[in-house]
A and B are shown apart, each in its own frame.
Chain A
Amino acid sequence: GDSVTQMEGPVTLSEEAFLTINCTYTATGYPSLFWYVQYPGEGLQLLLKATKADDKGSNKGFEATYRKETTSFHLEKGSVQVSDSAVYFCALSPGNQFYFGTGTSLTVIP
């Protein structure tokens, strides 16, 4: 069945470091792909999305490219800030349901 696998955390980075959080998916069709962010004690917020192959989603300095050939949607940011500390969820939607990854906790230290 359809599923999402994201890298295990927690991830700890120094401020201004480069961030990559890996996400790979399994799907029979052509799903839409999403990244959500959850700040402590809050609900999930949509960070970015891509609805077809080779699309690049971007928001708040974060980027992810829908790679059909490698079935991946890795999240990247060139220079993280302390305020980026949160849990990040990769998700896919093939059109009939939503599938979330298990989340990756990111802590950015000054």
Chain B
Amino acid sequence: SQTIHQWPATLVQPVGSPLSLECTVEGTSNPNLYWYRQAAGRGLQLLFYSVGIGQISSEVPQNLSASRPQDRQFILSSKKLLLSDSGFYLCAWSKDRGENYGYTFGSGTRLTVV
């Protein structure tokens, strides 16, 4: 069966420090991968998606970047964190663009920038 792993679960980082969040999927190949952010009390905001190795699409301009160095690995990064980067970050995968099976989400990373 397919599983998605996301870590760390919680992170407290000072303003200006770098960030690296990792997400891996097991049990499938060539998944579509997504990074979402959920600010406190708000809905989901799509940050990045990837349909293949090295293929990254950005939905909103921001202080973050994403990379897909391997088929089932998706990394969210920042060189210098801002206070506004705080939030709950969710990785997800899908077999297609989601229309048949939906998205499967990881357990999330709670990031607090202080």
Contacts and interface: CB of A to CB of B under 8 A. Distances in A.
A93 interface: yes
A58 interface: no
Contacts of A109: none
Most buried by A among B6, B44, B99: B99
B14 interface: no
Nearest to A103: B43
* Chain A: number of interface residues, binned into ranges: 20 to 34
Interface in B91-114: 92, 94, 97-100, 102-108, 110
* Chain B: number of interface residues, binned into ranges: 20 to 34
B105 A44 contact: yes
B74 to A, nearest CB: 14
Contact of B97 (A42, A91, A95, A100): A95
A104 B26 CA distance: 31
A91 B102 CA distance: 9
Nearest to B90: A43
A93 B90 contact: no
